Structure 1
């Protein structure tokens, strides 16, 4: 079955990069790695000893040895088996522990990187792919770490030592037993190149299915409103069918691989028995030696089979690991290096709060530029509005100024310092953003507000609410500012959520503020009060407003009109209206005509 190629939504690291990450993380724990390997080798050696001694026991029984010669061997076999069992259990524990530590490191690193990804990256890629990586992919790796990896490693140790044991019995028995190796190699070389892309496609298909389901669930009210249930059910069915078909193809490929592994086992065991019979008849080796060799090889069936048959889960875990490491490698733009051509990179502490944008270019796709040489200056303490058609580049420019997106070329500066060069841990002390999508976290409302300033006193929180005009409705809640909100608590309206976001802004107290349509979707009844709240929250701060409602633009000190990724007009509301043929005047007339600006 041919699996069509589907590009991943977020990047997937190459195998070399994934292995480099694993080696680097293991290198941080050399002592743990050495102890884990040493215990595994000892356990495997102890597992081989009973079979070797069993061969000796067979020869002594054939030679009519008395009980005094039999009991020591039987005791040694029992002790070795006990040591092997305890050692294997301890080895499994150490391997699992090491794997879980590596997974914890990766999970924390991925989560840390995901939380710092620009909102534009998440919006472009969709949340389904990211959720599948931190959910399903982490689960696949966790299963491999706890259930597969210990068995594979212990099986590999046992396989190597069993082959060494056969060579120790008689080099010819070891040699014919090794005839199975080429068959194993052929099976693996046939399977890996074909299965790796299929497992990759399977993870991508699962991510695509998750994306469709997340979008459908998030947009359920809209789907209900337009009665588009059948369309979305069909989309989910199509995505689910693709994931199912790929999974079936993967299982069929694995079944064929299993047949090739069984063929290799038959070749090895048959060769040992045939050659062993000939050697015993010629008196070259004993029956006990051949018995031990056959049992050692037969003992290999389980560990080698486990290693081979675990390739499907190993491959799935490898594909998931590559997807997680891919998150770590996401870059949002070129790095800048301090030097004569970039004097602004020599400092990380802004002086003042003036905002300057210098010849910024950006494109999410090489053939579709979003910003084309944008330059803009916002004097300290003033308010500038960005207006323009949908897709003009307003939100992208706002994201560049807020430090949420690194531009492809050019730079945005705050107080003479490039935003990309401000200490990331202090960036939000200088510039903060409020968008139209505000999340209310579950828990007491006061804790939700303190996200912006964890050390804020109760009085300071209440003062921030009062500053944005939210004190009255908060005091009217069942428990006031201690009322539980969000999931499992009181559901806030869109306007109330925006009030909370603006109060957080006051608590954070940044010198530069970016409002990306922060009052656009709260409903016309609350729009005016929210605009007043936004004016109060940004009073005295350098402010950039991505204005959906032109009444916001009218109150700004300056207005920048954007079209096709460029600023085509700049001036005050009065100045721009004076240009009757200008783009802003056209937008204003449309706004006055229907009262919406849409």
Structure 2
């Protein structure tokens, strides 16, 4: 399964919308660039006038005044160009920031089932390599393309106004450049798209290999993973080398194409002067116009190539927004805290159920431990209870409302899932905490940290809550990162909490102490604890035993041990271990 790829129409609409969101700044940049362009075309016109006036026998004083005016004109043009470039770069940064913010917003709300089906590599490639490939285009391309467009249009208009006859020479290079681009683009655009996909594949392979390094070593898969990485790198090298050679050909041909109008203007101008159809000054002006267009035409082809390269990445970035939602929230609100599970089935692949008609009633305020062998469906069921995955069949309700009918913000106030996976975000401890609740004050954060027994080591940090952690800051151990994640949950204050091996990265003694402290902090809330350590089940109000996607036993610890069933066997094995 792959995430969608946006088509050209969607790319143009989304990118145009991003730019037009800053239409005020865009208009200001255009005004400045038009002023700079008019200053630029005025200089060749002045030079032509000077040539004609010298031929007519003007005075040195007139030439001196014109030269002083020319210097002033150049200074004004340079100032306008600087201001236009500065404002355009600022605009580009704002557009790029908005692009990244929109992508992050979209990614954080993607259906988890879609992300799991597509694999982390595809999404990682879109949020890293693809974003990096478009940043040059967005940051500098917007300003450069606007400069080129205004320069070409204003110069051509000025050339036509100066000499319609000689202006025809300026368009001679258009069919040459057009033919060159028609040959070039069909041969390179597919390689850009394939290259973007290849980079995503490499990101996925590298990320999976590094994240699961212990499994790779244990299963002796190092050679296989290295060979897989080598194949991805060879494919990227092949595509990048092909693209580089195509650009060499393009640059060489363009170097000749953009010289054609300059040479022709000199030749045709000399003939026109001899025929008495124009003056030396006009030919001078037109030749300078042709030379001025040489750079912009060259750059236009460069940016056309960049646009095609960036389009492949933009198609992948904007494609993330095309993922179909896995639910349609309504305005329904729960009338209580009771959770009911009826006939829940779930299949990661059609026809291959992982859960088989599970029924369960959760009592408000109770602690329910879910135990069972690996692969029994415990984590999948926990995600159903947290509303992460909508069930394939059946229903999961809270307060009489389906979890999948709840808006995301409302859902997170009802039930939250905490897994053994954790992440420390770049920033301070306080900013990491406020991800859960932006308005949390210092006292509330210290209370949350104390609830998960993390306040002592946070106080020992150089700047306490204001200490920078994560990349570029003080590194946190896996256990500390897990405590920070649990503290965020305390701040979120949901009435139901699903803990999926949430203390697995701690040693058993520390984990049990933390669970007891967390239990005190979450007193009165419903807690579903999915665990392999059976002391969690021993301390719970009830225990649910899952086998092959079904709840086969449900009751208190002592009752299940006395019954001598599956739980009793698990408990005996645990005690022997």
- The 5 Å alignment of 1:426-437 reads 426-437=410-421
1:281/1:145 CA distance change after superposition, 3 Å: same
Stretch of structure 1 that moved more, 391-400 or 154-163: 391-400
Aligned with 1:310: secondary structure? helix
Partners of 1:165 and 1:346 lie apart in 2 by: 61
1:458/1:26 CA distance change after superposition, 3 Å: closer
Stretch of structure 1 that moved more, 360-369 or 265-274: 360-369
Structure 1 equivalent of residue 185 of structure 2: 192
Partners of 1:528 and 1:354 lie apart in 2 by: 27
Say whether residues 1:380 and 2:364 are aligned partners: yes
Q: CA deviation at 1:246?
A: 1.8
1:373/1:186 CA distance change after superposition, 3 Å: farther
Q: Is the 8 A contact 1:141 1:320 kept in 2?
A: yes
Match for residue 310 of structure 1 among 298, 303, 314 = 303
Partners of 2:50 and 2:468 lie apart in 1 by: 74
Note the aligned Cα RMSD (angstroms): 4.2
Partners of 2:71 and 2:459 lie apart in 1 by: 73
Say whether residues 1:542 and 2:565 are aligned partners: no
Partners of 2:392 and 2:62 lie apart in 1 by: 81
- The 5 Å alignment of 1:15-30 reads 15-30=8-23
Aligned with 1:425: secondary structure? helix
- The 5 Å alignment of 1:295-334 reads 295-334=288-327
1:499/1:156 CA distance change after superposition, 3 Å: closer
Structure 2 equivalent of residue 424 of structure 1: 408
Partners of 1:596 and 1:480 lie apart in 2 by: 44
Stretch of structure 1 that moved more, 278-287 or 322-331: 322-331
Say whether residues 1:48 and 2:41 are aligned partners: yes
1:360/1:100 CA distance change after superposition, 3 Å: farther
Q: Is the 8 A contact 1:119 1:404 kept in 2?
A: yes
Structure 1 equivalent of residue 332 of structure 2: 347
Stretch of structure 1 that moved more, 514-523 or 96-105: 514-523
Q: Is the 8 A contact 2:482 2:505 kept in 1?
A: no
Stretch of structure 1 that moved more, 154-163 or 53-62: 53-62
1:477/1:493 CA distance change after superposition, 3 Å: farther
Q: CA deviation at 1:289?
A: 2.3
- The 5 Å alignment of 1:108-119 reads 108-117=101-110
Q: Which runs of 5+ in 1 are unaligned?
A: 1-6, 337-344
Structure 2 equivalent of residue 183 of structure 1: 176
Aligned with 2:38: secondary structure? helix
Stretch of structure 1 that moved more, 37-46 or 367-376: 367-376
Match for residue 141 of structure 1 among 128, 134, 139 = 134
1:305/1:382 CA distance change after superposition, 3 Å: same
Structure 2 equivalent of residue 509 of structure 1: 493
1:92/1:528 CA distance change after superposition, 3 Å: closer
Q: CA deviation at 1:410?
A: 6.2
Structure 2 equivalent of residue 34 of structure 1: 27
- The 5 Å alignment of 1:461-476 reads 461=446, 465=450, 470=453, 474=456
Structure 2 equivalent of residue 412 of structure 1: 396
Partners of 1:446 and 1:104 lie apart in 2 by: 24
Stretch of structure 1 that moved more, 178-187 or 438-447: 438-447
Partners of 1:179 and 1:319 lie apart in 2 by: 31
Q: TM-score, normalised by structure 1?
A: 0.79
Aligned with 2:409: secondary structure? coil
Structure 2 equivalent of residue 572 of structure 1: 555
Q: CA deviation at 1:437?
A: 2.0
Stretch of structure 1 that moved more, 262-271 or 443-452: 443-452
Cα-to-partner distance string for 1:425-483 (whole Å, 9 max, x where unaligned) = 343332122211234568887886676566466598458746x6x48x94899579959
Q: CA deviation at 1:308?
A: 1.0
Q: Is the 8 A contact 1:474 1:480 kept in 2?
A: no
Say whether residues 1:14 and 2:3 are aligned partners: no
Structure 2 equivalent of residue 557 of structure 1: 542
Stretch of structure 1 that moved more, 566-575 or 152-161: 566-575
Instruction: Report how many aligned residue pairs link the two structures.
Output: 571
Q: CA deviation at 1:333?
A: 0.9
Q: CA deviation at 1:154?
A: 0.8
Q: CA deviation at 1:92?
A: 1.1
Q: CA deviation at 1:322?
A: 3.5
Q: Which runs of 5+ in 2 are unaligned?
A: none
Q: CA deviation at 1:192?
A: 3.0
Structure 2 equivalent of residue 88 of structure 1: 81
1:547/1:292 CA distance change after superposition, 3 Å: same
Cα-to-partner distance string for 1:231-265 (whole Å, 9 max, x where unaligned) = 54444443333322221111122222224433532
Partners of 1:480 and 1:273 lie apart in 2 by: 73
Partners of 1:206 and 1:476 lie apart in 2 by: 39
1:259/1:334 CA distance change after superposition, 3 Å: farther
Q: CA deviation at 1:306?
A: 1.2
Partners of 2:164 and 2:17 lie apart in 1 by: 39
Q: Is the 8 A contact 2:155 2:289 kept in 1?
A: yes
1:90/1:318 CA distance change after superposition, 3 Å: farther
Structure 1 equivalent of residue 280 of structure 2: 287
Say whether residues 1:262 and 2:255 are aligned partners: yes
Stretch of structure 1 that moved more, 397-406 or 480-489: 480-489
Q: Is the 8 A contact 1:42 1:87 kept in 2?
A: yes
Structure 2 equivalent of residue 399 of structure 1: 383
Partners of 2:67 and 2:349 lie apart in 1 by: 72
Q: CA deviation at 1:162?
A: 1.9
Partners of 1:61 and 1:360 lie apart in 2 by: 94
1:288/1:361 CA distance change after superposition, 3 Å: farther
1:104/1:417 CA distance change after superposition, 3 Å: same
Partners of 1:265 and 1:463 lie apart in 2 by: 67
